[in-house]
Chain A
Amino acid sequence: MKYIDEFRDGALARSLGAAITREAAPGRRYGFMEFCGGHTHAIARYGVTDLLPGNVRMIHGPGCPVCVLPVGRVDMAIEIARRPGVILATYGDTMRVPASGRLSLLKAKAQGADVRMVYSTQDAVRLAEENPGREVVMFAIGFETTTPPTALAIKQAEAKGLANFLVFCNHVLTPSAISHILESPEVRELGTVPIDGFIGPAHVSTIIGSRPYEFFAEEYQKPVVIAGFEPLDVMQAILMLVRQVNEGRAEVENEFTRAVTREGNQKAQALVAEVFELRREFEWRGLGAVPYSALRLKDKYAAFDAERRYGLVDRQVADHKACECGAILRGVKQPADCKLFGTACTPENPLGSCMVSSEGACAAHYTYGRFRDFSRKSAAGGATP
Chain B
Amino acid sequence: MCLALPVRVVELKGGDMAVVDLGGVRKEISLALVDGVTAGDYVILHVGYALTRLDPAEAERTLATFAAAGIDAPASA
Contact = CB atoms under 8 A, between A and B. Distances in A.
B61 A265 contact: no
Interface string A1-12: 111101101001
B48 A203 contact: no
Contacts, number: 146
Interface residues of B, number: 41
B55 A122 contact: no
Interface of A: 1-4, 6-7, 9, 12, 15-16, 18-19, 22-23, 36-38, 63-66, 91, 93, 119-123, 141-143, 145-146, 148-149, 152, 202-204, 206-207, 229, 232-233, 235-236, 239, 243, 246-247, 255-260, 265, 267-268, 271, 357, 359
Contact of B1 (A15, A64, A255, A258): A64
A306 B29 CA distance: 26
Max chain B CB contacts within 10 Å: which of A7, A123, A206, A258? Answer: A258
Nearest to B69: A19
B1 A236 contact: no
Interface of B: 1-6, 8, 22-23, 30, 32-35, 42, 44, 46-49, 51-56, 58-59, 61-63, 65-67, 69-72, 74-76
9 contacts: A3-B54, A4-B5, A66-B1, A91-B1, A119-B47, A146-B47, A149-B30, A257-B61, A268-B33
A64 B6 CA distance: 20
Contacts of B67: 12, 15
Contacts of A229: 2-4
B73 to A, nearest CB: 9
Given A2-B8, A206-B44, A258-B54, A239 B1 contact: no
B4 A145 contact: yes
B3 A38 contact: yes
B76 A359 contact: no
B47 A359 contact: no
